[in-house]
Amino acid sequence: MSKAPKANAVVGQSGGPTGVINASLAGVIEEAKKHPEIENLYGAVHAVSGMVKENFIDLKKLSSETLERMAGSPSSALGSSRDKPDAEYCGRILDVFEKRNIKYFFYIGGNDSANTAHIINTMAAKAGYELRAFHVPKTVDNDLLVTDHCPGFGTAAKFVACALIGDDLDNRALPGIKIDVIMGRHAGFLTAAAALGRQRDDDGPHLIYMPERGVSMEKFLGDVEGVYKKLGRCVVAVSEGMCDVDHVTWTEKVVKQNERDSHGNVQLSGTGALADFLAGQIKEKLKIKRVRADTFGYLQRSFAGLQSPVDAKEARRCGQQAVKYAMSKMSGSVAMKRLANGADYKVALFCTELSSVAERTKSMPDEYINDQGNGITPAFVEYAMPLTGNLPKTEYIGNYPKI
Amino acid sequence: MSKAPKANAVVGQSGGPTGVINASLAGVIEEAKKHPEIENLYGAVHAVSGMVKENFIDLKKLSSETLERMAGSPSSALGSSRDKPDAEYCGRILDVFEKRNIKYFFYIGGNDSANTAHIINTMAAKAGYELRAFHVPKTVDNDLLVTDHCPGFGTAAKFVACALIGDDLDNRALPGIKIDVIMGRHAGFLTAAAALGRQRDDDGPHLIYMPERGVSMEKFLGDVEGVYKKLGRCVVAVSEGMCDVDHVTWTEKVVKQNERDSHGNVQLSGTGALADFLAGQIKEKLKIKRVRADTFGYLQRSFAGLQSPVDAKEARRCGQQAVKYAMSKMSGSVAMKRLANGADYKVALFCTELSSVAERTKSMPDEYINDQGNGITPAFVEYAMPLTGNLPKTEYIGNYPKI
Q: Across the A/B interface, how many CB contacts are shorter than 8 Å?
A: 306
Using a pLDDT cut of 90, give the percent of chain A over it. Answer: 90
Task: State the alpha helices, DSSP H only, in A174-216.
Answer: 189-192
Distance from CA of B122 to the nearest CA of A (A): 27
Distance from CA of A273 to the nearest CA of B (A): 7
Which stretch of A84-88, A134-138, B9-13, B234-238 has the lowest confidence by average pLDDT?
A84-88
Residue B294 scores a pLDDT above 90: yes
Is residue B403, in this structure, part of any structural domain at all? no
Q: Do B302 and A275 touch (CB under 8 A)?
A: no
Q: What is the model's pLDDT at position B271?
A: 62
Is residue A395, in this structure, part of any structural domain at all? no
pLDDT tens, B321-369? 999 999 999 999 999 999 999 999 999 999 999 999 998 999 999 999 9
**Residue B102, SS3 per DSSP:** strand
Q: Do B178 and A298 touch (CB under 8 A)?
A: yes
Q: What is the model's pLDDT at position B258?
A: 52
pLDDT range class, residue A258, cuts 50, 70, 90: low
pLDDT range class, residue A270, cuts 50, 70, 90: very low
pLDDT tens, B240-252? 999 999 999 998 8
Average pLDDT over residues B285-304: 94
CATH code, B92: 3.40.50.450
Is the same domain home to A274 and A312? no
Enter the DSSP assignment of B369: B
Instruction: Say if A236 is an interface residue toward chain B (CB within 8 Å).
Output: no
Residue of B nearest to A40 (CA): B403
Q: What is the model's pLDDT at position B257?
A: 59
Q: What is the model's pLDDT at position B392?
A: 98
Is the same domain home to B209 and B126? no
Q: Do B397 and A62 touch (CB under 8 A)?
A: yes
Query: Using a CB-CB distance cutoff of 8 angstroms, which residues of chain B are in contact with residue A296?
Result: 294, 299
Is the same domain home to A230 and A344? no
Query: Using a CB-CB distance cutoff of 8 angstroms, which residues of chain B are in contact with residue A269?
Result: 276, 280
Alpha carbon of B296 to those of B21, B273, B275, B347: distances in Å? Answer: 20, 12, 10, 30
Is the same domain home to B78 and B175? no
Query: Using a CB-CB distance cutoff of 8 angstroms, which residues of chain B are in contact with residue A394?
Result: 69-70, 72-74, 304
Are the CB atoms for A380 and A210 separated by under 8 Å? no
Name the residue among A69, A267, A301 with its Cβ closest to that of B395: A69
Is the same domain home to A297 and A255? yes
Is residue B399, in this structure, part of any structural domain at all? no
Q: Examine residue A205 and say whether the peptide bond preceding it is cis (omega within 30 degrees of 0).
A: yes
Is residue B320, in this structure, part of any structural domain at all? yes
pLDDT tens, A168-222? 999 999 999 999 999 998 999 999 999 999 999 999 999 999 999 999 999 999 9
Rounded Cα distance, B227 and B206, in Å: 7
Name the residue among B263, B279, B284 with its Cβ closest to that of A261: B263
Instruction: For chain B, state the CA radius of gyration.
Output: 23
Q: Do A272 and B272 touch (CB under 8 A)?
A: yes
Q: What is the model's pLDDT at position A268?
A: 35
Instruction: Say if A79 is an interface residue toward chain B (CB within 8 Å).
Output: yes
pLDDT range class, residue B319, cuts 50, 70, 90: very high
Q: Is the ipTM of this complex over 0.90?
A: yes
Q: What is the model's pLDDT at position B261?
A: 40
Using a pLDDT cut of 70, give the percent of chain B over it. Answer: 96
Is the same domain home to A342 and A377? no
Q: What is the model's pLDDT at position B269?
A: 39
Residue B108 scores a pLDDT above 50: yes
Residue by residue, DSSP assigns A317-386 as HHHHHHHHHHTT-SEEEEEEEEEE-GGG-EEEEEEE-HHHHSS------GGGB-TTSSSB-HHHHHHHHH
Query: Using a CB-CB distance cutoff of 8 angstroms, which residues of chain A are in contact with residue B46?
Result: 173, 398
pLDDT range class, residue A267, cuts 50, 70, 90: very low
pLDDT range class, residue B1, cuts 50, 70, 90: low
Rounded Cα distance, A149 and A147, in Å: 5
Sheet of A132-137, strands arranged across? A56-58, A38-44, A7-13, A102-109, A132-137, A331-340, A346-352
Q: Do A394 and B73 touch (CB under 8 A)?
A: yes
Is the same domain home to B275 and B245? yes
Q: What is the model's pLDDT at position A264?
A: 38
Question: Taking phi first (over 0 means left), then psi (-120 to 50 degrees means alpha), and beta for anything else, what does residue A304 get?
Answer: beta
What contacts B95, CB < 8 A, 6 or more positions away?
Answer: none
Residue A262 scores a pLDDT above 50: no
Average pLDDT over residues B35-43: 98
Element of type H or E holding B177: strand B177-182
- Residue in A20, A81, A83, A268 to test binding to B, most B beta-carbons within 10 Å: A268
Q: Do B295 and A293 touch (CB under 8 A)?
A: no
Average pLDDT over residues A226-253: 94
Is the same domain home to A369 and A221? yes
Q: What is the model's pLDDT at position A1?
A: 57
pLDDT tens, A317-345? 999 999 999 999 999 999 999 999 999 99
Q: Do A391 and B169 touch (CB under 8 A)?
A: no
Among residues A58, A112, A141, A311, which one is catalytic?
Answer: A141
Tell me phi and psi for residue B85, to 5 degrees. Answer: -65, 135
Among residues B58, B86, B112, B141, which one is catalytic?
Answer: B141
**Residue A202, SS3 per DSSP:** coil
Report the candidate in B86, B83, B93 with the shortest Cα–Cα distance to residue B13.
B83
Instruction: Say if B127 is an interface residue toward chain A (CB within 8 Å).
Output: no
Q: What is the model's pLDDT at position A210?
A: 97
Is the same domain home to A383 and A235? yes
- Residue in B40, B167, B199, B301 to test binding to A, most A beta-carbons within 10 Å: B167
Residue B57 scores a pLDDT above 50: yes
Q: Do B391 and A304 touch (CB under 8 A)?
A: yes
Is residue B377, in this structure, part of any structural domain at all? yes
Instruction: Say if B233 is an interface residue toward chain A (CB within 8 Å).
Output: no
Q: What is the model's pLDDT at position B267?
A: 34
CATH code, B265: 3.40.50.460
B246 counts as catalytic: no
Tell me phi and psi for residue A62, to 5 degrees. Answer: -65, 135
Report the candidate in B373, B179, B210 with the shortest Cα–Cα distance to residue B280.
B179
Residue B2 scores a pLDDT above 80: no
Q: Do B58 and A163 touch (CB under 8 A)?
A: no
Rounded Cα distance, A39 and A35, in Å: 8
Instruction: Say if A343 is an interface residue toward chain B (CB within 8 Å).
Output: no
Is residue B277, in this structure, part of any structural domain at all? yes
Is residue B228, in this structure, part of any structural domain at all? yes
Residue B93 scores a pLDDT above 80: yes
What is the pTM assigned to this prediction?
0.96
Is the same domain home to A184 and A70? no
Q: What is the model's pLDDT at position A269?
A: 39
Is the same domain home to A332 and A291? no
**Which A residues 249-268 touch B at CB under 8 Å?**
257-258, 261-263, 265-268
Which stretch of A112-116, A261-265, B188-192 has the lowest confidence by average pLDDT?
A261-265
Q: How many domains does chain A have?
A: 2
Average pLDDT over residues B286-292: 93
Is residue B397, in this structure, part of any structural domain at all? no
Is the same domain home to B184 and B97? no
pLDDT range class, residue A272, cuts 50, 70, 90: confident
Range of the domain at A372: 153-304+365-388
